[in-house]
Amino acid sequence: MRVFQVEGAWGIEHLKMSARPDPKPGPGQVLLRMRASSINYRDPIVPLKAYGSQSGELPLIPVSDGVGDVIEIGAGVTRVKVGDRACPAYFQTWISGEPNANRLTQSLGGPLDGTMAEFMCLSEEGVVKVPEYLTNFEASTLPCAALTAWSALVECGHIRPGEQLLIQGSGGVALFALQFAKMLGAHVTVISSSDEKIERVKAMGADETINYIETPEWGKAARALTDGRGFDHILEVGGEKTLPQSLRCIRPGGTLSMIGILSGAAMSTSLGLIITRQVRLQGITVGHRDGLEAMIRAMSQHEIHPMIDRVFDFEALKESFEYIKTGQQFGKICISHG
C-alpha cells in the first residue's frame, strides 16, 4: 500500500512517499480504506522528533486524524460492519474513564502509525462510526481538534446554558468550541488577531469579540464584557503570554481549560490569583473514545458541520504542513486520499 512515512532518520526531509505491505485484519480488527485525513498543529512537529516520546520510532506514518471505509472485518467484530465509515480514535486504548499512562501513550500519528496510508488496520475498540450527513473531509476532523473542544467544555467543563465562555483564537479547536458552546446555550466571547476572522466568528454565532493585537491587555476589556463578573470558563490555547490575561478575567471559581502553548510553555504569572480566586486549571489532552462517540451523537442531533478551510492532495502533505504553520487558515486543513 501507498504510505507517507518518516524513514531512515528524523527530519522533514525524511518524510517521503513509500510503500508497505497491505495489512490484513486479524480477530477483533477492522480494515479501513482511508478516504481523508486532517492536519493538526502537532502533525508537522512529530516528524522533527520534537514531540517528546509521542514522536515514537521510525519508520512512522504521520497524522492522527482521518476517516475511512470499512472494507473488511476480522472474526468477532461487532462495532462496525463492511460498508460503514469510521474514524480511528486519537488514543487507541483510552476507551473511557480517567486517563492513565498507557491510555495517554497510544496515540496515532506518533508513536503509533497514523492516517497517511492507503489502509489502516485497527482494533474495533479504536474506531468510531461516523454519520452520513458528514462529508469525508468533515468527518476526518473529528478525532483530535473537535474532541479536545468537547472534552474541555462537556466532559471536564460541564458547561451549562447561560454560562460565559471565552475562546482564544479561531483555530481548529477554537471553532469547534464555538460551535459546541452555542449548541449548549453558552454566551461566547472570541479573541482573534484578525478583523476578517472576527467577522467570520460572529457569523458563526460569537456574541462578543476582541482583537488581541489591537488590545494586547485584553483581560480587562474581556472582564468588562461580563459586567465585571468574569468568565465561567476560558479555553487557553496561548499559554505563557495569555494565561496572565485569562487570570484577569476568569471569575472566582471559574475553569481554565489548558489546551495549547502557542505563545510559550513557561508559567510566568501570579500564582496567588489562582489560589485567592479558587480558579481551576484543567489540563486537557484530547479525550477518550466514548467521548468521541458522545460528541458525534450531539453533532448529529444538531447537524453541526466542521469548518473546512482547504483541501490538499495526498502527495501535497508537506505543503499542508507549511500552510498550517502560516496561521492563515480559518478552520481545518484536510488531505484527500483520492
Ligand X SMILES: NC(=O)c1ccc[n+]([C@@H]2O[C@H](COP(=O)([O-])OP(=O)(O)OC[C@H]3O[C@@H](n4cnc5c(N)ncnc54)[C@H](OP(=O)(O)O)[C@@H]3O)[C@@H](O)[C@H]2O)c1
Interface positions with ligand X (CB under 6 A): 40-42, 144-145, 148, 168-174, 191-194, 197, 212, 237-238, 241-242, 259-263, 284-286, 324, 327
Give the residue closest to ligand X by C-beta: 171
**Which SS3 state, helix, strand or coil, does residue 216 take?**
coil
* Shortest separation between residue 147's beta carbon and ligand X, angstroms: 8
Q: Residue 110, CB half-sphere, CA atoms under 13 Å: how many?
A: 22
Phi-psi region of 92 (alpha: psi -120 to 50; beta: other; left: phi over 0): alpha
Q: What are the angstrom distances between the C-alpha of 295 and each of 142, 143, 208? A: 9, 10, 25
* Shortest separation between residue 177's beta carbon and ligand X, angstroms: 9
Residue 205 phi/psi, 5-degree rounding, is 115, 0
* Shortest separation between residue 64's beta carbon and ligand X, angstroms: 9
Residue among 74 and 99 whose Cβ is closer to ligand X = 99
* Shortest separation between residue 67's beta carbon and ligand X, angstroms: 17
Residue among 119 and 323 whose Cβ is closer to ligand X = 323
Give the span between the Cα atoms of 329 and 308, in whole angstroms.
9
Helix (H) or strand (E) holding 235: strand 231-236
Residue among 127 and 201 whose Cβ is closer to ligand X = 201
Give the span between the Cα atoms of 318 and 16, in whole angstroms.
9
Residue among 123 and 148 whose Cβ is closer to ligand X = 148
Residue among 66 and 260 whose Cβ is closer to ligand X = 260
State the residue for C-alpha cell 449548541: 183
* Shortest separation between residue 16's beta carbon and ligand X, angstroms: 24
* Shortest separation between residue 320's beta carbon and ligand X, angstroms: 12
Cβ proximity of 5 and 60 under 8 Å:
yes
* Shortest separation between residue 66's beta carbon and ligand X, angstroms: 15
Helices 172-183, 289-302: inter-axial angle, 10-degree rounding:
60
Q: ∠ CA 54-57-63 to the nearest 5 degrees?
A: 55
166 CB contacts (<8 Å, ≥6 apart)? 188, 189, 190, 191, 222, 231, 233, 234, 235, 246, 249
Residue among 31 and 249 whose Cβ is closer to ligand X = 249
Residue among 30 and 243 whose Cβ is closer to ligand X = 243
* Shortest separation between residue 23's beta carbon and ligand X, angstroms: 27
Residue among 108 and 286 whose Cβ is closer to ligand X = 286
Give the span between the Cα atoms of 336 and 332, in whole angstroms.
13
Rg, the chain, Cα only? 20
